[in-house]
A and B are shown apart, each in its own frame.
Chain A
């Protein structure tokens, strides 16, 4: 089938099998930040935004993004121009192996887009579906709170 959607601000027109997993499709077209940790929606490593809402791309198929706005971690920032959330993850030491990081940053982005002054418990609740085995989540929560503070201080772009 022909698929058209917006990916990180750029219009996409491509062929996709209607049964193709969204996770596979995004990786196939180069969005390698979208990670596969379980394929059952339990780990959150494949978290992306569709029209600003966080979803697990392993549980979706290609046609579900028809006409939608898709954001992956690549759309938030780059090595040379990182998003404040990405900077906060580095500064707080929230990255160990980095495999869960893309999903964590995306889910945190969704949280901060609706609440720029979350409590630590609200952060923990928001990221509860994203598993990390390295950090004990301590510094991930710190990172999200740090980014939230920066946002409130007007230090986001």
Chain B
């Protein structure tokens, strides 16, 4: 088989199916990272360059809870998710919000600065050493016939669906969710209706960081933690958010799967290095035919 003049290798259907399934697992990780981002980036239009650094920080928190107190990474969610919310709330309310004076271009630089500070602080305090969590169920899982699905991967997949559902319910059914949407659509109008815009901004940022903290708990059993780990996922997460449609949680989930499957099949046929260009190809194609992304709506 040939594609653009390149002779592609041929694989059995089980290998192709296994690769596509592995794309779903990889996509669930992208979706997990993208869900918090789509809330902050998609709803509030804050390009949060600190997202990767916050993911890394949350992963360290999960790791240290395991290493110090023996708390399972999934149980650690009960601590790091509320912790992430309050950290994010404080970060937006007292650092990003105050330093940016409401100007988008300054917000961008402030989040970049926060990312640099967090990454270098992590390097200073935690060193460059990668730290891995060992869980007893690391190798247990289900034989899907074409590939093995271990429990940490299934947990990440399930987690991505649950967080998407929780965010959707929160945004559509709660007063705070409605307030967030109101602020996103018409900030001044929302203020005139008595909504505390500063508070809503901080709450939204806090929820975004809480999502990242949940993602961290689901990632730690598979990935080693180090100061650069966030950058491995966050660039693709930005792509997922735009591809899925800004502010759409379902878009982030579907976009994550689409990117994951595309990447894995691309790597299977074009090689591990060249295969990643398929992410950019699918991204450009989707935006050419649907500029608002898969689930985005025209503002």
Are A and B co-members of a single complex?
no
